[in-house]
Amino acid sequence: MPRSARPAALVTGAANGIGAAIARRLLNDGWSVAAFDLPKSGLSRAFPKSPHVVLIEGDVADAAAVARGVDQAVKIFGRLDGLVSNAGVMKRKPIGTLSLADWQRVIDVNLTAAFLFARTAENPLRKAKGAIVNIASTRALMSERNTEAYSATKGGLVALTHALSVSLGPDVRVNCISPGWIETGDYSKLRKKDHGQHPAGRVGKPDDIAEMAAFLLDARRSGFVTGANFVVDGGMTRKMIYSE
């Protein structure tokens, strides 16, 4: 297909939550979007039919599915300017009951998938002088109990980000966002104390992360930004907390 005048991005984990918010923000900003998620994840419900949206079903941990997804996006839009690796899973178990299969699945979805997409999309992203945004977590910097696999992958994403920024630069900029508490369910059910514990005065929303992702993908606004991790958490990782 001829190269579209609109920039194009591929967003993983796009059916819900942060991924859906990023995809919709990009569409509103004039991008074309390849929305990638698991079969039966609700992609068709998340996005209306549009010539600027392609829905791609597959497992981000499957190298063949990744290759098909990137190829489909490039063939349909004629280009790939942005990649957002957002898909993630958590298996929260005490380490004594966390099986190797559990550990490996979290590693594969949260970390290996970001490597697979970056490797597969390297050539079209270089051609477009594009950008990658990886979605990590404040769990790369701080932890709760029984999150070993999840925390390890998010720390790995931060490191993968700065490694890719050096390897793919100057053609491709690579940055990372580490969200804190982002409520993807019913925001109205949050308690006053949920909001009040945040220095910013509220719990985060998916649109808060979408705003940062849109900025980082736009070379006009963030062309001198690469290799960085942006913590978007309402200030929680800067708050010293002791038991009383």
Catalytic amino acids? Answer: 150
Environment class of residue 94 by beta-carbon count within 10 Å: exposed (0-12), middle (13-18) or buried (19+)?
exposed
**Spatial contact of 77 and 121, defined as CB atoms under 8 Å apart:** no
Residue with tokens 């079209």: 124
Please report, to the nearest 10 degrees, the dihedral formed by the alpha carbons of residues 186, 187, 188, 189 taken in order. Answer: 70
Bridge partners, 182 (sequence order): 204
Q: What are phi and psi of 36, to 5 degrees?
A: -115, 130
CA 43 to chain centre: 16
| Angle, CA of 195, 242 and 154, to the nearest 5° | 65
Residue with tokens 């490996």: 104
